[in-house]
Amino acid sequence: MTDTAHGHASSTGISNVKLGMWAFLGSECLLFGGLISTYMLYRGRVAGGPRPSQVFDIPFTSVSSFVLLMSSLTMVLAVSAAHKDDDRKTNLWLTVTALLGATFVGGQVYEFTAFYKEGLGFSTSLFGSSFYTLTGFHGVHVTVGIIML
């Protein structure tokens, strides 16, 4: 497929669709970079409520992260199958990707519920606010990705 297959090329010679995707990816990097920076600044500012070390379940979070990483692998396999015009494998890997993404989001909901029960609410502290904002945006990001599949 050429750069102009989806429409007119921009003044750079790159299709508007490809340029739009790069702009989207850049804005995502800026958004999450800002959210991660905010979290890093405020993670130690706990005026009330539990501290991060008191609520985070590292083994559960590790498994959840592994599930999300595997969804990236299955997405690569889906793209590879699509390039080979293998519809059966493309659909299989897209389905596995969506299921892994949904598993991750389900785990995030489970964790949020557990954190809230342990006293970490959105307005409990700057740490709580920045944590829920960062991970909430990420959960929405993954959910939108699943829907778009």
Is residue 106 domain-resident? yes
Give a yes or no: residue 129 inside a domain: yes
- Interval 61-71 mean pLDDT: 96
Q: How far apart are the first and last CA of the chain?
A: 21
Residue 121 Rama label (left phi>0; alpha psi -120 to 50; beta):
beta
Looking at residue 130, its pLDDT comes to: 87
Say which residue, 37 or 102, is predicted with more confidence. Answer: 102
Residue length, the chain?
Answer: 149
Tell whether 101 is covered by a domain: yes
- Which residue range is the domain that position 101 belongs to? 43-148
Judge whether 125 lies within some domain. Answer: yes
In this predicted model, what pLDDT tens digit does every residue of 56-65 receive, in sequence order? 889 999 999 9
pLDDT of residue 65: 95
Report residue 7's pLDDT band, with 50, 70 and 90 as the boundaries: low
Which CATH number is 87's domain given? 1.20.120.80
Residue 127 pLDDT class (50, 70, 90 cuts): confident
Counted domains in the chain: 1
Residue 34 lies in a domain: no
Query: Would 60 be classed as within a structural domain?
Result: yes
CB 38 within 8 A of CB 131: no
In a domain, 18, yes or no: no
Q: Is residue 69 part of a domain?
A: yes
Q: What is the pLDDT of residues 77-92, one digit of tens each?
A: 999 999 999 999 999 9
